[in-house]
Amino acid sequence: MRRAAAGLALAALAGCATPPASSPPAAKLATPADLYGPLFEAVQMRRLFADGKTFVDAVPRRAPAAILADYRARATWSDDALRAFVRANFDLPAEPAPVADQPARPRRPILAHIRALWDELARPPVVAVEGESALAFAGRHVVPGGRFREIYYWDSYFTMLGLAEDGRHDLIEGMIDGFVGLVEAHGRVPNGARTYYLSRSQPPFLYLMMGLSRATDRDILARRLDALIAEHRFCMQGGRVVRMPDGALLNRWWDDRDTPRDESFREDVETARASGRPAARVYRHLRAGAESGWDFSSRWLANGRDLASIDTTELVPVDLNALLYGMERDIADRCAALARDCEAAFDARADRRRAAVERWLWDEAGGRYGDWHLPTRRQRDGLSAATAYPLFTRLASPARAARVAATIDARLIAPGGLRTTLVRTGQQWDSPNGWAPLQWIAADGLLAYGHDAPARRIAVAWVGTVQRGYAASGKLVEKYDVEDSREGGGGEYPLQDGFGWTNGVTRAMMARWGIGN
């Protein structure tokens, strides 16, 4: 890996062969809340459907303006009348039954089950239709499952790990091409392929997805590099960038809107009311927490317990900055491979980011990486699985990686896999839940630095938990309780079956570590 002089100015990027700024701005694409206004608010606040995602995924049967005009023409609506009006004017998606209420699937070996699920979860390219929230997506792709009917950003990398093991490069290339198309259309990969996700992204894994590709055509590679540079530009603008006490630039989770999330409208309104703080500020924190992928976690809670205390945008998170370091290194490599003049500038950016992460996001006493709290100018207390990210992206020095490995080994590995945090709040990204992506990130990062034993412990424990769950129910679910090796819980919605990233990580771990069958 080449290294450029760390002193190159940020302005050096001006000379890179970059594509023009993407358009149109995401904020100009209407969400269901924008389109249906008072109708939307009534449906969501009255909780006419058990899942707040049901109405926002509905497809209108006629022009949205005409539907809204008919709604406004009537002064009052009972719940039953409003529900009937919605059903008459929209095609509603099926609401999946809770996992506990679903019949067990026929038993077959878990690897055969995962292979069969790829086509079950695969979807054709999506064509956008006026008035509905689905975004156009160019490639055939895999969705997570359950209520998650569309493709999601960071989920997809972990799904692709399993697709690669099973030789499904058709789906890998389709998903990468679709994500590149989203960047070209909107300037970023949104949280998911819905209009109501466009104001935020998710952990930036697109460069790692491209690393799984077999594409060699220079035109394809050039288009993908342009997409990565455009995504990086999005990350480095507006409220997403923060300046540390020494002037270094790092990033935080952010959302361009400060309104309730369309898909969790009532929940967000209730959280803001309970907070005693300006509602717009709370909404921004909730949206930023959703961008992080950890929605929600004690990492983002000022008092470490209650969602009403959420303060996501006041933190400089280690996982995001480690991923951006990896992206910058990858862009530099791609610039070199394509003989672009942007290699040195991105190498310099990566060098600066690495130095800033090591200075501000390292906790020497705790032997961990963590999140910097901007108002207090100190690290937030609390160990989490995010400490593994600098190992996963190869940012950490060997000495600090050894300290992190010891911390993970002593405190984060549970009987059923890697703990997310050490606290119980009822939020789904806290104890006792473990999540497939964090298992892979930690195990892969540990292995990269030669800490084979804890990496294998995580893999064996996780695969064992998934296999036990599968033997009991015939299902692969979104998250697991790693303390008791059973299905997980907590959060804003019921446990989901499917499930893309669980399938992908489990399949990849079984292959890499030679475990299970």
* 480: β partners: 434, 487
Nearest C-alpha neighbor of 323 from the set 331, 314, 313: 331
Q: Which helix (H) or strand (E) holds 486?
A: strand 486-487
Strands 362-363 and 372-373: unpaired
**E-strand spans in 31-123?**
59-60, 90-91, 122-123
Q: Is 178 exposed, middle or buried (0-12, 13-18, 19+ CB in 10 A)?
A: buried
Structure-block tokens of residue 303: 């008092």
Strands 315-316 and 362-363: unpaired
Q: For the chain, percent helix, then strand, then coil, each to nearest 5?
A: 50, 10, 40
- The three-class DSSP label of residue 275 is helix
Among the listed residues 165, 231, 295, 497, the single catalytic one is 295
Strands 141-142 and 372-373: unpaired
Is the Cα torsion angle 142, 188, 191, 156 positive or negative in sign? positive
* 122: β partners: 142
> Would you say 495 and 478 are in contact if contact means Cβ atoms under 8 Å apart?
yes
Cis bond upstream, residue 38 (ω within 30): no
Residue type, 394: R
Among the listed residues 57, 262, 478, 487, the single catalytic one is 478
Q: Which residues of 61-98 are buried (b: 16+ CB within 10 A; e: fewer)?
A: eeebeebbeebeeeeebeeeebeebbeebbeebeebee
Distances in whole angstroms, Cα of residue 278 to Cα of each of 33, 49, 254: 20, 28, 17
CA–CA gap between residue 233 and residue 227 (Å, rounded): 10
Angle (CA) 427 428 433, round 5°: 120
DSSP secondary structure letters along 12-46: GGGGS--PPPP-S-GGGSPPHHHHHHHHHHHHHHT
- Provide the 8-state DSSP code for 433: E
Give yes or no: 478 in active site.
yes
Residues belonging to the active site:
295, 478
